[in-house]
């Protein structure tokens, strides 16, 4: 703790009011947080940027943090100090987090020790910052909520982003037939290199017909849906009997015909990592750490930004055309 005390201030992004990307303010005089019992202080090397960060910042999300706050949940870095009763980690350990208490867009972050995991040497810090929310969400969507089984088919709708690529890698490793969509040629190549058996361009007006031709009359068993406000109606046409759409992302309303679910007894299931129980989170963690160990879990890092360009990162994650991996801030 003495180390942290010598450097008592840090650079961190602060949000004082909800709004557009311009409300993200980089400040250089933020106090370095001190870990309490069962908490650790991490010197942050990289922090993942998730679409949910932008929803929370805009004030439109179901959960609103108390202002001011620092965004960011997925950090990778090195343990700086530990609070009382922490035995799993020591100063100098390489780690990644699922969430932080003080916010990840900062030079230091405090996290509950139970939300921190060892980062193996085979992955760098940028990759470490791309694990938490994407892989835990993908695992939860596929198995805890989607009840995926080996031999079933899965369509990852918007497969070239952080959660999408995680879903492709996990589904492929677990014996599913994996189809993915992306919006660019480059995106399609990325998903084919990361577990998809076939890729489709969702900007092609006939792409749903191509998916149907690929799955045959049976349809697809599970759809992992990143943009349900655009795709949900079409998804219902692509499902098999007893198929299920896992709603991972949504940016607005959509009209559907519920009769489409009756004809196939299909389900639309919402996914929220925030609602996972302690047991479920620990099951996700085991699967993720096993995947890293086995070598099939390899986070793909996309665009990288310095902390000064955080507002640009928030713009790009919503408006740029076609994701290619996980967006990260580098410190």
122 shares its domain with 101? yes
DSSP bridge partners of 47: 75, 329
What's the token pair of residue 96?
A: 């990644």
CATH, residue 113: 3.90.180.10
pLDDT of residue 275: 96
- State yes or no: pLDDT of 5 exceeds 70: no
Same domain, 256 and 310: no
Return the pLDDT at 323: 73
Q: What is the DSSP letter of 33?
A: P
Looking at the structure, tell me whether residues 120 and 153 fall in a common domain.
no
pLDDT digits (tens, 9 = 90+) for 189-228: 999 999 999 999 999 999 999 999 999 999 999 999 999 9
| Cα separation, 4 vs 313, whole angstroms | 29
324 pLDDT tier (thresholds 50, 70, 90): confident
Q: How far apart are CA 244 and CA 237, in angstroms?
A: 11
Average pLDDT over residues 231-247: 98
Q: Which two tokens stand for residue 159?
A: 């497969």
* pLDDT above 90 for 1: no
Q: Are 125 and 138 within one domain?
A: no
H or E stretch including 78? strand 75-82
The answer on pLDDT for 7 being more than 70 is no
CA atoms within 13 Å, Cβ hemisphere of 34: 9
CA-angle at 41, arms to 284 and 46, nearest 5°:
65
Do 164 and 77 sit in the same domain of this protein? no
- Does 242 map to a domain? yes
Hunting for tokens 């902390």 — which residue is that?
A: 307
How many CB atoms lie under 10 A from the CB of residue 243?
23
Average pLDDT, stretch 148-176?
Answer: 97
From residue 312, alpha-carbon distances to 21, 60, 133, 229, 317 in Å are 7, 19, 21, 24, 9
Q: How confident is the model at residue 3 (pLDDT cuts 50, 70, 90)?
A: low
pLDDT-above-70 percentage for the chain: 98
What is the average per-residue pLDDT within 12-17?
Answer: 98
Check residue 130 and give its pLDDT.
97
- pLDDT-derived band at 62, boundaries 50, 70, 90: confident
Tell me how far apart the alpha carbons of residues 111 and 114 are, in angstroms, rounded to a whole number.
8
Residue 252 lies in a domain: yes
* Of the candidates 180, 130, 184, 132, the residue with the CA atom closest to the CA atom of residue 158: 180
Centre a 10 Å sphere on the Cβ of residue 278 and count the other Cβ atoms it contains.
8
pTM (predicted TM-score): 0.94
Q: Do residues 171 and 126 both lie within one domain?
A: no
Examine the domain organization and report whether 70 and 117 are in the same domain. yes
CATH number of the domain within which 221 lies: 3.40.50.720
Domain that holds residue 89: 9-130+299-330
On average, the pLDDT of the chain sits at: 95
Do 126 and 65 reside in the same domain of the chain? yes
Are 95 and 119 spatial neighbours (Cβ–Cβ below 8 Å)? yes
**Number of structural domains found in the chain:** 2
pLDDT at 199: 98
Contact partners, residue 121, CB within 8 Å, separation at least 6: 94
In a domain, 281, yes or no: no
Specify if 294 maps to a domain.
no
- Chain segment 64-81, per-residue pLDDT in tens: 999 999 999 999 999 999
Whether 156 and 232 share a structural domain: yes
Asked if 208 contacts 219 with a C-beta cutoff of 8 angstroms, the reply is no
Give residue-wise pLDDT tens across range 120-130. Answer: 999 999 999 99
Euclidean distance between CA atoms 178 and 170, whole angstroms: 10
Instruction: Look at 8-22, 220-234, 256-270, 313-327 and tell me which has the smallest mean pLDDT.
Output: 313-327
User: Rounded to the nearest 10 degrees, how much is the dihedral formed by the CA atoms of 223, 227, 232, 237?
Assistant: -50
Helix and strand tally (H, E) in the chain? Answer: 11, 15
In a domain, 285, yes or no: no
Task: Say whether both 146 and 269 belong to one domain.
Answer: yes
The model's confidence at residue 318, banded by pLDDT at 50, 70 and 90, is confident
The verdict on 142 and 263 lying in the same domain is: yes
Mean pLDDT, residues 266-282 taken together: 96
Position 260 in a domain: yes
- Per-residue pLDDT band at 319 (split at 50, 70, 90): confident
Region 166-187: mean pLDDT is 97
Kindly state whether residue 291 falls inside one of the protein's structural domains: no
Considering the domain architecture, whether residues 188 and 262 belong to the same structural domain is answered as: yes
């Amino acid at each position: 703790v003495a180390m942290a005390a010598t450097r008592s201030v840090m650079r961190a992004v602060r949000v004082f009011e909800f709004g557009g990307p311009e409300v993200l303010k980089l400040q250089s005089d933020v106090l370095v947080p001190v870990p309490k019992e069962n908490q650790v202080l991490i010197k942050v090397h990289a922090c993942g940027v998730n679409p949910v960060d932008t929803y929370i910042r805009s004030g439109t999300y179901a959960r609103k943090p108390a202002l001011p706050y620092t965004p960011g949940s997925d950090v990778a870095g090195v343990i700086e100090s530990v609070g009382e009763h922490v035995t799993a980690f020591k100063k100098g350990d390489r780690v990644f987090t699922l969430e932080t208490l003080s916010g990840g867009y900062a030079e230091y972050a405090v996290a509950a020790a139970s939300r921190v995991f060892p980062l193996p040497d085979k992955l760098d810090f940028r990759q470490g910052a791309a694990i938490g929310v994407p892989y835990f969400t993908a695992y939860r969507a596929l198995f805890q909520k989607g009840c995926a089984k080996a031999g079933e088919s899965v369509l990852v709708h918007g497969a070239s982003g952080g959660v999408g690529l995680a879903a492709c890698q996990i589904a492929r490793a677990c014996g599913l037939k994996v189809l993915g969509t992306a919006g660019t040629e480059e995106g399609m190549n990325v998903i084919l290199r990361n577990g998809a058996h076939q890729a489709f361009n969702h900007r092609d007006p006939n792409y749903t017909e191509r998916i149907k031709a690929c799955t045959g009359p049976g349809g697809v068993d599970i759809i992992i849906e990143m943009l349900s406000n655009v795709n949900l109606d079409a998804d219902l046409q692509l499902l098999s009997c007893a198929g299920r759409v896992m709603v991972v992302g949504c940016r607005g309303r959509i009209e559907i015909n519920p009769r489409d679910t009756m004809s196939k007894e299909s389900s639309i299931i919402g996914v929220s990592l925030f609602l996972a129980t302690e047991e479920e989170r620990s099951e996700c963690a085991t699967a993720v750490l096993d995947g890293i160990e086995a070598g099939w879990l390899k986070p793909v890092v996309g665009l990288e930004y310095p902390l000064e360009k955080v507002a640009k990162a928030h713009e790009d994650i919503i408006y740029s055309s076609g994701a290619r991996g996980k967006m990260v801030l580098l410190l």
